[in-house]
Amino acid sequence: MSFGTYARRVRDRTLPYGSRYLALRSPTVPRLSNVLDGGEMLINVTIGMDVGTWSSVTVASPTDLQDQLDELSAAFEGRVTDYEKSVPAIRDIPGFLSAMRRLAALD
């Protein structure tokens, strides 16, 4: 589905996503329960690139996802550690791309 098609569907008040559009366009701060259904989550990733900036991941969900997030966090932390150890052995672009695939758990 193209972004334009998705955007039109979100604005269609007769579809399930239409209520989310209305909640997000409201002059008041939306309640999480008006934007997300059970089992859904909103993830915001901020990556600080300049000195003095910070990176963060914010996860919001009407459902308690702590166990799943802890598991994902531990798995990612392990992949980051493995990647950092492999950096000295990366000699070329194919080696870098292979390391990125392992970091992203694509291999």
Q: What is the pLDDT of residue 45?
A: 83
Its sign, for the CA torsion 96, 99, 105, 107, is: positive
Per-residue pLDDT reduced to its tens digit, 21-63 = 777 778 888 888 777 877 778 888 888 878 777 888 888 888 8
Q: What is the pLDDT of residue 27?
A: 87
Q: Provide the mean pLDDT of the chain.
A: 81
Same domain, 107 and 72: yes
Same domain, 11 and 49: no
Stretch 76-92: mean pLDDT? 94
Same domain, 69 and 53: no
SS (H, E, C) the chain: CCHHHHHHHHHCCCCHHHHHHHHHHCCCCCCHHHHCCCCCCEEEEECCCCCCCCCEEEEECCCCCHHHHHHHHHHHHHHHHHHHHHHHHCCCHHHHHHHHHHHCCCC
Domain count, the chain: 3
Same domain, 54 and 88: no
Instruction: Write out the residue range of the structural domain in which residue 6 sits.
Output: 1-30
Question: Which residue is listed with tokens 């059970």?
Answer: 38
Same domain, 88 and 58: no
Q: What is the pLDDT of residue 21?
A: 74
- For residue 105, how far is the Cα from the chain centroid? 15
Stretch 64-72: mean pLDDT? 87
Give the residue, 71 or 4, on which the prediction is more confident: 71
Q: What residue type is assigned to position 33 of the chain?
A: S
Give the residue, 11 or 91, on which the prediction is more confident: 91
